[in-house]
Amino acid sequence: MRQIFPSKNGDEAYIGPPGPLTEPLVAGEPGTTDLIAGVAACYACPDGLWVRANMVTSLDGAIAVDGRSGGLSGAADRLLFHVLRSMADVVLVGAGTARAERYGLAKPGSTWPQLRQGRPGTPPIAVVTRGISLDLNSQLIRGDDSLPRTIVLTTSQAPADRVAAASKTAQVIVAGDDDVSAKAAIDALAGLGYRRILVEGGPTLLGQLVSASLLDELCATISPLIAGGRGPRMIVQHGPAKVTDMTLVTLIEDSGFLLSRYVRR
């Protein structure tokens, strides 16, 4: 895993043990500990409210293969996924992404304890859903007494019976009348004390965040695959597009995968 930018003394620098990543990574091993610490240092964010998104795309711009992002993933992308979740206070997703990717609760084995000192072992998942169009029997909503409850951000138009059912195991917050705006979602999470907000999709939610100038950082992994076909872009904006100027902060390469980190100017 090589850090290409910024370079150190003009040279590419390995993060953790030299060479490409090998799986599985074993917690507690010196090489793994150094690797996690090195990647986390590259993705350290400022104090205060910070909204970052993490997405993966093919060389030709596809964000999914057969409807899911897993077909684009590799060892480096999976490592970054777990590191960013470990650094997050809360993970925010749209209902479409939650359904397509079959979201469940963040499990302790998917985070690194050394990055969660002073916080619960895993971050809660927050889902934006206008009418609570989610499987109420799924683990995401049904919950687990040992893990943080899922946060459901919905509207006053959501059916009362679904609100009541979801409220038994999840934290339901009405954050809008006809829709949950990006600002309303971020304000609701910030009001709960969450400062480091990790957004994992989908394209419409990301588009709303960009349009509202609320996305501080985009972590885009480029997979060395050509997916072909047609599909949604990483970010979809409805109405006039907002052009946002971003600055490259970090670029890491591993086995052909490029992990880029861009911050809004």
**DSSP code string of 139-202:** HHHH--TTSPPPEEEE-TTS-HHHHHHHHTTSEEEE--SS---HHHHHHHHHHTT--EEEE---
Q: What is the mean pLDDT of residues 212-220?
A: 97
CA nearest neighbour of 142 among 112, 199, 177, 103: 103
Q: Is the pTM of this model over 0.75?
A: yes
Amino acid 66: pLDDT: 84
pLDDT digits (tens, 9 = 90+) for 142-152: 999 999 999 99
Q: Which CATH number fits domain 2-264: 3.40.50.2000, 3.40.1280.10, 3.40.430.10, 1.20.140.10?
A: 3.40.430.10
Q: What is the mean pLDDT of residues 34-54?
A: 95
pLDDT exceeds 70 at position 11: no
> DSSP secondary-structure letter at 250?
E
